[in-house]
Amino acid sequence: QVRLVESGGGLVQAGESLRLTCEASGTTSRLNAMGWFRQAPGKERERVAHMSAGGTRNIADSFKGRVAISRDDNKNIVYLQMNSLKPEDTAVYYCNAKGGSIAVWGQGTKVTVSS
């Protein structure tokens, strides 16, 4: 089994930056893509970015230029760097990992951006 634990969320002001961290534990050898989604209050969950084990990054169009995703496969960690945060970025951010038949979600970390 694989477990994902996110951290790094919190309260920030508009224009500031945050780096979210997701650490995977358990049977991580099967994992390929790891990434981030978010869900704002009253809205559907949306993809932010993901990254394959081979290093290919895919950032959703609405986030390009403001977020960066990176991985440390030695530590089984994926990071999401978010810059120039806006109040509309307020959401719970979830880590997601896939590999073969495995699809796992973390419990989420809340990000609140004040104006």
Token pair of 20 as six digits: 């979210």
Token pair of 95 as six digits: 């880590």
Distance CA 41, CA 68 (A): 23
Contact predicate 46/96, CB 8 Å = no
Reduced DSSP (H G I as helix, E B as strand, rest coil) percent helix, strand, coil of the chain, to 5: 10, 55, 35
- Evaluate if residue 28 carries a pLDDT over 90: no
Contact predicate 3/28, CB 8 Å = no
Predicted local distance difference test score (pLDDT) of residue 101: 84
pLDDT in tens, 63-115: 999 999 999 988 899 999 999 999 999 999 999 999 888 899 999 999 999 99
Q: Which of 108, 53, 102 is CA-nearest to residue 76?
A: 53
Predicted local distance difference test score (pLDDT) of residue 13: 98
- Evaluate if residue 29 carries a pLDDT over 90: no
